Amino acid sequence: MARSPFSPSFWRSPLRGPWLTSVLGVVLLGGITVLFVTGLVSYAAYNPDLSPVNDKTPDKGVLGFYLFSWPTDPHWLYRLNQGVHVTLGITLIPVLLAKLWSVVPRLFTLPPARSLAHALERLSLLLLVGGALFEFVTGVLNVQLDYIFPGSFYTLHFYGAWVFIAAFVAHAVLKTPMALRNLRQLREEQNDLIAPNPAEPTVSRRGALWFVGGGSLLLFGTTVGQNFDGPLRRTALLAPHGGAEPGSGPGGFQINKTAAYAGIRDADTSEEAWRLVVVGANGHTVRLTRADLLAMPHHSAALPIACVEGWSTSDQWWRGVRLRDLAALVGHDEDPPDVLVESLQQRGAFRRAALRANQVADPRSLLALAVNGEDLTPDHGYPARIIVPAAPGVLNTKWVARLTFGDL
């Protein structure tokens, strides 16, 4: 047996070959396309072009070319999009690992480059493989709150995705026709991936594919439940928001950041201390106690909490004051404008967040004071929180202290 990986006879697995690589490649072509599109959609959901407080990537330039006003319908839009993005990403990990395994002998090709085109293609593969792993690793770490990557998750994952997709599209254009040919032909072409001196097989290629699919199914089955309540959530055995709900009763549903973690003190949220400051475009300012808010007309909305980390709750029954009624209170009787929402929270990436006029105008957009028939719990944003249909979780600001209406 050859000792050097640069020798073709070093690689002995009888599984490697164009058929296996092509099957895995076609699965990734579909899967990664969905990941990229749902990622772009998730980015747009933050309305980064609305206000600097929503924008973690102000240098995006043309990469934000497709941005649009994020809608409020259907109200489960972000929940579905982000559930697909994260769950599919985790499900594809075995496929990615298998695909990389199937082509690893090519890393040791000699001569390193046969032509300029080949040299450029190999350089592009560094961006492809490095980019894919970078995106999967930052995503998987972020959903587990393990912030060891060097910088803001939003910046790294967003720009990393564009570097990766540039290499991915080139790779797909160069390789997809060949992959489809490999799959259509029953007989396998001779190819550098086929071991010249294969070891005795321990499993068939179909068996190997079942194995990869089994890995995906296992990850899917222990993750997807974190998008549902009750018994289904308990099936998500290893997902961060799987298992039992945190607590019971009306407030016993998933929490992104607790009051204690966000540094919210009871002294700041008490009836005596807390005031909601509402400012209009003309400088018109009102200060409201919680009792003032309770005296205003109340409305209900059944809306979920859906997090960028790929977990969500089913619809909760929120009750509170419409944002457009609060806008009217400070002079915006017709066509409510955008609003800047500020939390009592002293630190945290989204302690200030902006909502667009279409979100403010939606009759289901509330400054909620109660959920599921009871006052909000401290962890769900007592004394008052924002809840907007289809908005990402972090834009549903908790412990609201100030609303500034006006075009942003």
Partner 1 sequence: MRRPELPVLIGNPLQILLLACSFALAGYAGVRLLDGAWFEIALWFVGAAVVHDLVLVPLYGAADQTLLRTFEAADRRTWIPYIRVPAALSLLLLLVWFPLITGRVTHRYTGATGHPPADFATRWLLLTAALFGASAMVFAIGPWRSGGGRREGSGRGRPG
Q: Which of residues 359-398 bind partner 1 (CB under 8 A)?
A: 379
User: Which one of 160, 280, 320, 336 is in contact with partner 1 (CB under 8 A)?
Assistant: 160
Is 256 within 8 Å of 262 (Cβ atoms)? no
Burial status of residue 149 (CB atoms within 10 A of its CB: 0-12, 13-18, 19 or more): middle
Of the pair 301, 307, the CB lying nearest partner 1 is at 307
User: Contact between 170 and partner 1 (CB under 8 A)?
Assistant: yes
Question: Which one of residues 26, 63, 67, 281 is an interface residue with partner 1 (CB under 8 A)?
Answer: 63
Q: Give the binding range for partner 1 (CB under 8 A) out of 107-115, 287-295, 334-342, 391-399.
A: 107-115
Residue 320 found at the interface with partner 1 (CB under 8 A): no
Q: How far apart are CA 256 and CA 310, in angstroms?
A: 11
Q: In 3D, which of 24, 1, 8, 7 has the Cα closest to residue 193?
A: 8
d(CA 102, CA 95): 10
**Torsion angle defined by CA atoms of residues 230, 231, 236 and 241, in that order, rounded to the nearest 10 degrees:** 20
**Contact range with partner 1 by CB under 8 A, out of 155-163, 284-292, 294-302, 320-328:** 155-163
Nearest approach in angstroms of CB 22 to partner 1 is 12
Q: What x-and-dash track marks residues 65-104 binding partner 1 by CB under 8 A?
A: -------------------------x--xx--x--xx--x
Rounded least distance, CB 318 to partner 1, Å: 19
**Rounded least distance, CB 89 to partner 1, Å:** 10
Q: Which region, judged by CB under 8 A, interacts with partner 1, from 70-78, 168-176, 285-293, 352-360? A: 168-176
Q: Is beta strand 299-303 parallel, antiparallel or unpaired with respect to 276-279?
A: unpaired
Q: How many CA atoms lie within 13 A of 184 on its CB side?
A: 6
Residue 264 interacts with partner 1 (CB under 8 A): yes or no: no
- Contact between 131 and partner 1 by CB under 8 A: the answer reads yes
Q: What is the DSSP letter of 396?
A: S
Per CB under 8 A, the list member of 29, 137, 279, 293 interacting with partner 1 is: 137
- With CB under 8 A, what is the number of residues at the site for partner 1? 87
| HSE toward the beta carbon, residue 74, CA cutoff 13 A | 6
Tell me the HSE value of 275 on the side-chain side, using a 13 A CA sphere: 9
Question: Which CB sits closer to partner 1, 97 or 361?
Answer: 97
Tell me which amino acid residue 328 is: A
Least CB distance to partner 1 at residue 198 (A): 8
Phi/psi at 259 (5° precision): -60, -45
List own/partner pairs for 10-15 with CB under 8 A and 24 or more apart: 10/105, 10/108, 11/104, 11/105, 11/195, 12/195, 12/197, 12/198, 12/199, 13/195, 13/198, 13/199, 14/195, 14/198, 14/199, 14/200, 14/201, 15/102, 15/201, 15/203, 15/205, 15/208
> CB of 164 within 8 A of CB of 132?
yes
Interface positions, 195-254, toward partner 1 (CB under 8 A): 198, 200-207, 211, 214-215, 218-219, 222, 237-238, 240-241, 243-244, 246-247, 254
- Distance between CA atoms of 256 and 312, rounded to whole angstroms? 10
Query: Which residue in the set 33, 155, 176, 289 belongs to the binding site for partner 1 (CB under 8 A)?
Result: 155
Interface pick for partner 1 out of 65, 68, 111, 116 (rule CB under 8 A): 116
Rule CB under 8 A: is residue 289 a binding residue for partner 1?
no
Q: Quick one: 206 or 284, whose CB is closer to partner 1?
A: 206
Q: Of these, 17, 39, 320, 392, which contacts partner 1 (CB under 8 A)?
A: 17
User: Contacting partner 1 (CB under 8 A), which of 40, 167, 327, 353?
Assistant: 167
Report if residue 140 touches partner 1, rule: CB under 8 A.
yes
